[in-house]
Amino acid sequence: MTGQYYPILLEALQVIIVLLGAPLLVGWVRMVKCWTQGRRSAGLLQPLRDISKFLVKDTVLAHNASWIFTATPYVVFGATLVAGAIIPVVSADLPLAATADIIALVAIFAVARFFTALAGLDVGTAFGGMGTSREMMVSSLAEPAVLMSVFTVSLVSHSTSLSYMVHDITTVSFVLRPSLAFALLAFVLIAIAETGRIPVDNPSTHLELTMIHEAMILEYSGRHLALIEWASMMKLFLFASLGISLFMPWGIAGIDDPGMIPVALVALTAKLALLGVGLVLVETGLSKMRIFRVAEFLGMAFLLATLGMLSYFILE
């Protein structure tokens, strides 16, 4: 393999993994969920089939929908894909990772969310507005917590560059760090809230009183819906792999170590599969909480993230 093309190939591989891995992960989660509930599952590929079905269908637009409404699916999908291009999933040596650090990553997700929220308001339905207001409440609480949590990791590895952070954590000898444990706990809570899983939101219902994310995208159909659904699957995948690469990156291919990539792929699949099972267990074990308790839930995440940061200063 020539060194010149290696970065491009690696980046291409990464994008493909994100694009295809995301529906597969969602399919896996649904499968495991079916098993735990004693149902037959639709198979691992069902989300992919859904997306391809939506892609060929016609889109129906509301009369009063503006350009924001039509642009949003592309913006959201594009932003999420960019995020997918900078999170090291199989190799720490990701060329695009150098262009954006962890703060930019949070901002990219914020752009996607901002446009979804605008689109929710754009058509002027009651549900869209309600969903937007709830989403904004959740994100306004989750964002400081997510920043606090990743900053803790940055402090430990002395960098905000994702590549470098992953590299640092894999190479430095193992140390018990309470700060990372707290940051991980906080991150898990935030990831649940951000990706709209139980107990904060339930992606599989359209119950008007409880939905958050679904309420905003209620008016979408056809390929727009496909893109948005795909983007939200990728979001789940990305949060999972971000968590993996920040807190348990062992097995990931190091810098200038292409030989490790197959191993890294296997490790990633195994970790994601385990994570999927964990997610299902959480979702079956808990019930969705009242919207007003979400603030408490995220407050706890913020507290944990802050404790993580404080214990870095105090104890390490």
Partner 1 sequence: MDVNFAAQINGILAALILLTSFGLLVQKRVYGLLHIFAWQGLFLSISTAVVGYSTGLHHLYISALLTLALKVFALPYILYVLIHKLHIHKEVEDMVNVPTTMLIGIALVIFSYDLMSPVRELSSLVTRSTLAVALSTVMLGLLMMITRKKAITQIVGFLSLENGLFFAATSATYGMPLVVELGVALDILIAAFIFGIFFFQIRTTFDSLDLKEMEKLKEEE
The answer to whether residue 296 forms part of the interface with partner 1 (CB under 8 A) is yes
Place of tokens 């309470």: 178
Which residues, 6+ apart, have CB-to-CB distance to 75 below 8 Å? 111, 112, 115
Question: Residue 181, interface with partner 1 (CB under 8 A)?
Answer: yes
**Number of residues forming the site for partner 1 (CB under 8 A):** 20
Residue 242: other Cβ atoms inside 10 A: 21
Among 7, 78, 144, 178, binds partner 1 (CB under 8 A): 178
- Does 316 bind partner 1 (CB under 8 A)? Our answer is yes
> Is 299 among the residues that bind partner 1 (CB under 8 A)?
yes
Alpha carbon distance 141, 129 (integer Å)? 19
Nearer to partner 1, 151 or 230 (CB): 151
Q: 157, 169 in Cβ contact below 8 A? A: yes
Q: Is 292 in the site for partner 1 (CB under 8 A)?
A: no
- Residue 22 CB, shortest distance to partner 1, in Å, is 33
- In single-letter form, the type of residue at position 131 comes to G
Q: For residues 16-36, b (16+ Cβ closer than 10 Å) or e, as one string?
A: ebbeebbbbbbbbbbbbbeee
Our CB check for partner 1 shows the closer of 8 and 295 to be: 295
Residues whose CB falls within 8 Å of the CB of residue 310, separated by 6 or more in sequence, listed in order: none
**Residue 311 lies near partner 1 (rule: CB under 8 A):** yes
Q: Least CB distance from residue 171 to partner 1, whole Å?
A: 19
Q: If binding is defined by CB under 8 A, does position 129 make contact with partner 1?
A: no
253 phi, psi to nearest 5 deg: -70, 135
Selected from 176, 209, 287, 292, the binder of partner 1 by CB under 8 A is: 176
Query: Which residues in 195-214 contact partner 1 (CB under 8 A)?
Result: none
Select from 1, 56, 175, 209 the one that contacts partner 1 (CB under 8 A): 175
CB 264, CB 110: distance < 8 Å: no
Q: How far apart are CA 174 and CA 27, in angstroms?
A: 34
The window from 104-112, 149-157, 160-168, 177-185 that contacts partner 1 (CB under 8 A) reads 177-185
Give the whole-angstrom CA distance, residue 180 versus residue 183: 5
From the list 4, 40, 292, 313, which residue makes contact with partner 1 (rule: CB under 8 A)?
313
How far apart are CB 312 and partner 1 at their closest, in Å? Answer: 10
Enumerate binding residues for partner 1 (CB under 8 A): 175-179, 181-182, 295-296, 299, 303-304, 306-307, 310-311, 313-316
